[in-house]
Amino acid sequence: MDMIIVKGGQPLHGEVAASGAKNAALPILASALLADGTHTFRNVPDLADVATMLEVLRTMGCEAARLTGRKKDVCEVALSGPITPEAPYELVKTMRASVLVLGPLVARFGRARVSMPGGCAIGARPIDQHLKGLKALGAEIHLTEGYVEARAKQLRGGTVNFDVITVTGTENVMMAAALAKGHTVMENCAREPEVEELARVLNKMGARIEGAGTSVITIEGVDSLKPVDHAILPDRIEAGTLLVAAAISGGNVLVKHAQVEHLEAVVDKLREAGCTITVEAGGLRCKAPRTPTAVNITTTEHPGFPTDMQAQLMALMSVSNGTSVISENIFENRFMHVPELHRLGADITIQGHTAVVKGVKGLSGAQVMATDLRASASLILAGLRAEGPTEVSRVYHLDRGYERLERKLRSLGADIRRVKARG
Ligand code: EPZ
Work out the pLDDT band at 413, boundaries 50, 70, 90.
very high
Average pLDDT, the chain: 97
Residues 6+ apart with CB under 8 A from 346: 315, 318, 338, 357, 360, 363, 382
What is the helix (H) or strand (E) element at residue 189, kind and residue range?
none
Q: Catalytic positions, please? A: 120
32-53: average pLDDT: 97
pLDDT of 81 reads: 85
0.95 exceeded by the pTM?
A: yes
pLDDT above 80 for 423: no
Percent share of the chain, pLDDT over 90: 96
- Average pLDDT over every residue of 168-178: 98
**Average pLDDT of the segment spanning 393-408:** 97
Whole-number Å distance between alpha carbons of 85 and 81 = 12
Residue 332 CA: which ligand 1 atom is closest? Answer: 34
What's the gap in Å between 309 CA and the centre of ligand 1?
14
Q: Whose CA is nearest to atom 14 of ligand 1?
A: 23
Atom of ligand 1 nearest to the CA of 302: 12
Centroid of ligand 1 to alpha carbon of 223 (angstroms): 30
Q: What is the pLDDT of residue 121?
A: 85
Question: What tens digit of pLDDT does each residue of 107-140 get?
Answer: 999 999 999 997 788 988 999 999 999 999 999 9
**Contact predicate 249/384, CB 8 Å:** yes
Alpha helices in 211-276 (DSSP H): 236-249, 264-272
- Distance from the alpha carbon of residue 96 to the mean position of ligand 1, in angstroms: 10
pLDDT in tens, 305-352: 999 999 999 999 999 999 999 999 999 999 999 999 999 999 999 999
Between the CA of 166 and the centroid of ligand 1 the distance, in Å, is 6
Report pLDDT for 120.
84
- Atom index in ligand 1 nearest the CA of residue 168 equals 19
Give per-residue pLDDT as tens, 58-88: 999 999 999 998 889 999 999 988 999 999 9
Strand partners, 186: 160, 217
Which residue ranges have their beta carbon within 6 Å of ligand 1? 22-23, 26, 97, 123-130, 164, 166-169, 190, 307-308, 330-331, 373-374, 401
Residue nearest to atom 35 of ligand 1 (CA): 308
